Structure 1
């Protein structure tokens, strides 16, 4: 499938990662993963990615810092990737802080998998 979309899931919980991966693979997306912010940045620079599901609380560099770095990338193919923040403590952040960091949209934890699929399709089809 030449038009298969690739989603990077940045998530340090293997349970959440595996569930999310299975749900999105059923929708025919190609899934790659990163367990920390350093891996996220390596992945987006090493291959074409259509969307990032970014856990805000990941080690090394948190999701907000990763998002800012992706947005500062001089390559527009990278800096314009839709980034969907996933967080269990969205109350710690305002929509304004998400927007300022460059987050495209966000989903609260525990993840509603129907909402996950809907939001992903909204940004990458």
Structure 2
């Protein structure tokens, strides 16, 4: 089973996203900010991160940069999909520079979400 971290400070979005991905047979770990993402990555291996850009304590852009600098090559290369309500504030090159593979705008289109998660988790099958 593929393991996905959902980093999202909105409980509603986090819970909906978790339920939809669990139906698709993903193992979900939910966190509220970038520090918790790093904590979870230090404890376990994951296949994908879905990350809100606007989170308290450490936002998604800073968290993505920290992940890309990790010493463990497998962890530093994990696909990161940004979820953002204000993608207009960032260009594709901003996301690329931070190490984010792709972004999905809010409000979330769950068909796009599932399609995007599958694309990144099936291409690097264990």
| Distance in 2, Cα, partners of 1:36 & 1:29 | 20
Aligned to 1:56: 53
Aligned to 2:79: 82
- 1:113: how far off? 0.2
| Distance in 2, Cα, partners of 1:53 & 1:82 | 9
TM-score (norm 2): 0.96
Structure 2's unaligned 5+ residue stretches are: none
Aligned to 1:44: 41
Runs (4+) of structure 1 exceeding 2 A deviation are: none
TM-score (norm 1): 0.96
Aligned to 1:124: 121
- 1:77: how far off? 1.3
Aligned match for 2:32, one of 32, 35, 38: 35
CA RMSD of aligned residues (A): 0.5
| Distance in 2, Cα, partners of 1:7 & 1:70 | 15
How many residue pairs were aligned?
122
